[in-house]
């Protein structure tokens, strides 16, 4: 989805800089995988944090995915996989794989005109002989079909789609649409049509979607990207009782979602070059009957950390309120005020005084909303007509 550029606000850099250094630039880039949960009161800056980390990941060479649980069902993991696949732009990743093939054959892809395929370029240079064609097939086989991290059918589909971009082996547009339709979950695609292409596929379901996601992660990496960063916001919709919500979770769907998350946590070590971040209001943790604690199989996997006096930046459950209590001072709140004034210059906002900032810090210990929202409300004269900071 399209996102506006997000400027890093004071205070939050305490966490974003750390994640960028330890996860984005190191652990995930070098083959690791991680799941993080971000929580806090309404207005604590969760959505802002997700958008900022998504932008940081994109600038660091990652393919990024960012969506809300209000838009995508989470109870069936295949729906999550399809949304990740859609936002990843598989064909763009395969263009990166083309560049890898071209380089593997000793050519510089930058020398190939944009209006020519690699095969057209070779033909123009009188180098499209049988030996060269066999080498292209060999490169594709080594890249996809011999890769143990790829599902066999996923690998074969990517090999044929990459060949279509290279100009060899030739793939008809109708067959290209079939392959992309199957990968994207198009129910109108008939499996016998795919078998005619050499695949032995089955429908992508919640049972094999994580395995397909592992293949997608590998193709993203083969395409020249550092990895895949997936941000999912608004998980508190799982316990919402409002009839105005676009998606309504029954008890069964909610527990299916918790089980899906539990399985993802258990399988995360089988994935490479991927980071998930899920964000939700504190109510999802505090609600004993419907929240995370109601599904013990999941809760046992995400609450095993020792709680100390200092905020732990390595924690898998990140409490933005706890971070704010440790890191935010009246001076930081003044910087946040100044940043808001510059970023929302079309609004008539009044910047805080040092005294007001101190009062907001005191108020935040008892209030039901987070510090960023309190700062914004104070600058707006107490009006709360905006979405989360």
Model pLDDT, residue 383: 52
* Domains of the chain, start order: 13-76+219-326 (3.40.50), 101-195 (no CATH), 328-379 (no CATH)
What is the C-alpha end-to-end distance of the chain, expressed in Å? 19
Model pLDDT, residue 1: 39
Distances (CA, A) of 94 to 137, 154, 167, 226, 377: 15, 12, 13, 14, 46
Model pLDDT, residue 348: 54
154 in Cβ contact with 183 (< 8 Å): yes
Q: pLDDT (tens digit, 0 to 9) for every residue of the chain, 389 residues total?
A: 344 445 566 789 999 999 999 999 999 999 999 999 999 999 999 999 999 999 999 999 999 999 999 999 999 999 999 999 999 999 999 999 999 999 999 999 999 998 999 999 999 999 989 999 999 999 999 999 999 999 999 999 999 999 999 999 999 999 999 999 999 999 999 999 999 999 998 999 999 999 999 999 999 999 999 999 999 999 999 999 887 888 999 999 999 999 999 999 999 999 999 999 999 999 999 999 999 999 999 999 987 655 667 888 999 999 999 999 898 988 888 888 888 777 766 455 667 888 888 888 888 877 788 888 888 888 887 554 444 44
Model pLDDT, residue 386: 43
How many CB atoms are located within 10 Å of the residue 332 CB? 20
How many CB atoms are located within 10 Å of the residue 117 CB? 17
Model pLDDT, residue 344: 66
């Amino acid at each position: 989805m399209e996102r506006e550029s997000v400027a890093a606000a004071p205070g939050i850099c305490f966490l974003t800089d750390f994640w960028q250094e330890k996860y984005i630039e190191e652990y995930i880039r070098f083959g690791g995988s991680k799941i993080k949960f971000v929580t806090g009161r309404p207005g604590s800056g969760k959505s802002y944090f997700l958008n900022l980390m998504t932008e940081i990941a994109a600038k660091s060479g990652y393919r990024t995915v960012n969506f809300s649980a209000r838009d995508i069902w989470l109870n069936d993991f295949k729906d999550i996989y399809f949304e990740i696949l859609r936002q990843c732009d598989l064909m763009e990743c395969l263009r990166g794989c083309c560049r890898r093939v071209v380089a593997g054959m000793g050519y510089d892809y930058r020398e190939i005109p944009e209006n020519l395929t690699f095969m057209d370029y070779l033909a123009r240079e009188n180098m499209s002989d049988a030996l060269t064609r066999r080498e292209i097939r060999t490169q594709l086989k080594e890249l996809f079909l011999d890769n143990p991290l790829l599902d066999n059918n996923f690998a074969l589909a990517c090999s044929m789609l990459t060949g279509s971009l290279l100009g060899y082996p030739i793939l008809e547009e109708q067959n290209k649409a079939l392959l992309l339709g199957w990968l994207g979950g198009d129910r109108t695609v008939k499996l016998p049509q795919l078998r005619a292409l050499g695949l032995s596929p089955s429908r992508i379901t919640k049972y094999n979607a994580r395995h397909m996601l592992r293949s997608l992660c590998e193709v993203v990496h083969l395409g020249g990207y550092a990895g895949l960063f997936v941000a999912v916001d608004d998980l508190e919709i799982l316990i919402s009782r409002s009839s105005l919500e676009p998606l309504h979770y029954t008890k069964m769907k909610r527990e299916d979602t918790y089980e899906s998350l539990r399985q993802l946590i258990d399988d995360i070590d089988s994935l490479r070059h991927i980071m998930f971040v899920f964000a939700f209001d504190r109510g999802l943790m505090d609600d004993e009957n419907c929240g995370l604690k109601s599904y013990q199989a999941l809760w046992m996997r995400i609450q095993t950390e020792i709680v100390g006096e200092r905020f732990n930046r390595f924690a898998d459950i990140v409490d933005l309120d706890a971070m704010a209590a440790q890191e935010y001072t009246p001076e930081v709140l003044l910087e946040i005020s100044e940043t808001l004034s510059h970023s929302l210059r079309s609004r008539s906002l009044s910047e805080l005084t040092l005294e007001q900032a101190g009062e907001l810090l005191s108020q935040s210990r008892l209030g039901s909303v987070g510090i960023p929202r309190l700062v914004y409300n104070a600058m707006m004269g107490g009006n709360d007509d905006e979405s989360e900071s």
